[in-house]
Structure 1
Amino acid sequence: MHFTHDEIQKLPRVLSAPRFATYLSARNGNKEQALQLYQWNLEVSAAFFVPLQICEISLRNSVVQAIEFAYGLNWPWEKSFEISLRSPSTGYNPRSNLISLRHLPTSGKIIAELKFVFWEKMLTSGHDGVLWNPYFRQIFPNTDQGKTVQALRGHANQTVLKIRELRNRIAHHEPIFNRPLQQDYLRIHEVISWADLTAAAWTDKIQTVTDLIRAKP
């Protein structure tokens, strides 16, 4: 990555001093090297959207399958499902998130609009009795058969939390260059593989994240 004199002088001002300072500090004040790192951060962030999208769709479709087994096809309007959702007074509220979307005409449209954190919160212990004890192994057949459902579900919850943290940083245009990005990708691959090994292999085939990680300036 090479930058012209004008780019080196003007781009840091366009990006803003506070934002660029993170990259400048990481490259000991060298503006050109900081710009190289910034550009690489842009490229690897964009590349992550492909596996992240596959991961989110795979995860939510699997969780929906378990919900449908337990609550039926009209689960978004089932009172028993609504009651099963947490409703904290502060922070993210899964119950409110669902209720706010009930004006939509189909469950498919509701599924598409529910926040990613909704699916993460479905993987908490409060849903073990109705969802995960009976259905976890059915919807995630490629998880470790030697572990208990509770252990697998707990691991799934923490794994998806870390993936959501990465997703949010990318969505808010934050630096990710100092994250363990190879480990981040492996988590995404792991979640996809729980439901379908072919989908995980396809993700490996089409993603460009790992090549970019190796090309970090």
Structure 2
Amino acid sequence: MPFTPREIEVLPLVISAPRFSTYLRARGGDIEEALRLYRWNLEVSSALLVALQLCEVSVRNSIATAIENTYGPSWPWNRGFQISLKTSRHGYSPRCNLIDLAKRAPATSKIVAELKFIFWEQMFTARHDQAIWNRQLKIVFPNCDCTNTVQQLRTYGLKELNKIRVLRNRIAHHEPILENNIQQEYERIRLMIAWTNDTTAEWLDKIERVRHLIGQMP
């Protein structure tokens, strides 16, 4: 659908000059082409949210299961688990995030839903190998590549979840993802979903619009 003259005049002002400049540069200063690119960025970002939501839910639930298998159903209040988490005076602290929620939330399920994505990402650090991952990783992620060691898989998961979180945050902050390899981003998200459940990954393939939109980039 073409833009109206009024849209071409008004939309760049609403988007704001600094934000719109990225799209203008990418299309050699052509305002209408830059708007088409902006619209595509909106559409592909929106489409990726479907995959990102399934990824976050499936991965966090699998990690939560591993923690529960190790520390019991009341793991958010287990002092041993809390102490095992990294703490930091500057930047994100998984321990503080969990303890703060444990003081307020009435149930484990509520805490699982409210913990930040980075909490689950940082569960894939080496500090949890002995207590959790050496026994639990291949149980809660049954479709991972079992030819690799637990440490290789956990390191790979940490790296991939970090990239997924960065993408998620860019989309959440309405940033352009024009320079991302969208096909690669989708495959990364899909693989982490498949680690938990391949049926869910196959269902995602049926409902997602990301791969269709890749070929429509203006």
- TM-score normalised per structure 1: 0.99
1:54 CA drift (Å): 0.5
* 1:22-37 → structure 2 map (5 Å cutoff): 22-37=22-37
Q: Distance in 2 between matches of 1:109 and 1:144?
A: 31
1:122 CA drift (Å): 0.3
Q: Distance in 1 between matches of 2:217 and 2:62?
A: 34
Q: Say yes or no: does 1:184 pair with 2:185.
A: yes
Q: Distance in 1 between matches of 2:57 and 2:186?
A: 16
CA RMSD of aligned residues (A): 0.7
Alignment match, 1:161: 162
1:45 CA drift (Å): 0.6
Moved over 6 A (4+): none
* 1:121-132 → structure 2 map (5 Å cutoff): 121-132=122-133
Deviations 1:45-89 (A, max 9, x none): 111111111000000000001000110000000000000000012
Deviations 1:131-176 (A, max 9, x none): 1101111111111111111000000000000000000000000001
Alignment match, 1:45: 45
Q: Write the letter of the residue equivalent to 2:56.
A: E
Q: Say yes or no: does 1:115 pair with 2:116.
A: yes
Unaligned runs of 5+ in 2: none
Percent identity of paired positions between Structure 1 and Structure 2: 54
Q: Write the letter of the residue equivalent to 1:203.
A: L
Q: Write the letter of the residue equivalent to 1:157.
A: L
Alignment match, 1:60: 60
Q: Distance in 1 between matches of 2:147 and 2:49?
A: 32
Deviations 1:69-124 (A, max 9, x none): 11000000000000000001211100010111111100000111000000000011
SS, match of residue 182 in structure 1? helix
Q: Distance in 1 between matches of 2:54 and 2:110?
A: 18
Q: Distance in 2 between matches of 1:49 and 1:162?
A: 15
Alignment match, 1:69: 69
Aligned residues: 217
Q: Write the letter of the residue equivalent to 1:180.
A: N
Q: Write the letter of the residue equivalent to 1:154.
A: T
Unaligned runs of 5+ in 1: none
Alignment match, 1:144: 145
- TM-score normalised per structure 2: 0.98
Q: Distance in 1 between matches of 2:9 and 2:105?
A: 50
Q: Distance in 2 between matches of 1:104 and 1:88?
A: 22
